[in-house]
Amino acid sequence: AQKITQTQPGMFVQEKEAVTLDCTYDTSDPSYGLFWYKQPSSGEMIFLIYQGSYDQQNATEGRYSLNFQKARKSANLVISASQLGDSAMYFCAMREVAQGGSEKLVFGKGTKLTVNP
Amino acid sequence: NAGVMQNPRHLVRRRGQEARLRCSPMKGHSHVYWYRQLPEEGLKFMVYLQKENIIDESGMPKERFSAEFPKEGPSILRIQQVVRGDSAAYFCASSLVLAGRGELFFGEGSRLTVL
């Protein structure tokens, strides 16, 4: 079963507008963490933002904010005032604890964001 | 502070050859993860290592793939007798701890092309 679902293969946004990238997750663990990473065309993975399952407030990092709706199991990324440099693949990930205590990040398939001038 | 260093950045191999990918984690990080990314796909977990120990290899193919993180030196992902389907980007990541907001720091990836 897919643990992280990103339903938008591609998204387009005009420069300076806001955009929301969707992410839903599936876990029965009461303690978990959610991450967003950006992958530009150059290929590196850049950490953007983190949300803990017990965090009382939605995470924010500059122009990035996370719309965390725990009951709906969604953790959507909101990018405000889009810039041309925001064009990239965006991946949602969840920290998963395996048997034996091993922890790893499980990634969604990603959303390709294109910012138009 | 140097980030996660991976080499080579690009590697071309013919079917049946061996591929060795190296990863030096960030200074002080003892947790190393290897992920594989196929074209147009997300990252798939392969293996999680700490110094001299494989902690979780649940994502590793049963044959031809192996990984190590020795006491001294970089972590190595080794693919024997490569096939075309092994063509992918292989990412290494390291962390101090993953619990809480401990994030993974990724290298720039090694792109393997099998001819």
- Quickly state the pLDDT bin for A69 (edges 50, 70, 90): very high
The larger pLDDT score, comparing residue B79 to residue A102, is at B79
pLDDT in tens, A28-66: 888 889 999 999 998 889 999 999 999 889 999 999 999
**Residue A2: which pLDDT band, with cuts at 50, 70 and 90?**
low
Q: Is the predicted pLDDT of residue A1 greater than 60, yes or no?
A: no
- Interface contact B33-A104, CB threshold 8 A: yes
pLDDT above 60 for A10:
yes
Query: Could you give the percent of chain A with pLDDT greater than 90?
Result: 77
Give the strand pairing for A64-69 and B5-7.
Answer: unpaired
Contacts of A60 (CB under 8 A, 6+ apart): A49, A66
| Element (DSSP H or E) covering residue A21 | strand A19-21
- The pLDDT, as a whole number, for residue B95 is 86
Say if the Cβ atoms of B58 and A100 lie within 8 Å: no
Q: How confident is the model at residue A115, as a pLDDT? A: 97
Q: Which residues of chain B, if any, have pLDDT below 70?
A: 1, 97-102
Cβ contacts of B45 on chain A, cutoff 8 Å? 104-106
For A87-96, write each residue's pLDDT tens digit.
999 999 998 8
Sort residue A104 into left (φ over 0), alpha (ψ -120 to 50) or beta. Answer: beta
> What is the number of CB-based contacts under 8 A between chain A and chain B?
63
Instruction: Identify each DSSP E strand in B69-106 by its residue range.
Output: 75-79, 88-95, 105-106
Q: Does B55 touch chain A (CB under 8 A)?
A: yes
**Interface list for B 8-47 with A (CB within 8 A):** 33, 35, 41-45
- SS3 (DSSP) at A99: helix
Provide the token pair at A81: 């005032």
pLDDT at B103: 76
Interface of A with B in 8-27 (CB under 8 A): none
pLDDT of residue A100: 66
Q: Tell if the CB–CB gap between B98 and A110 is shorter than 8 Å.
A: no
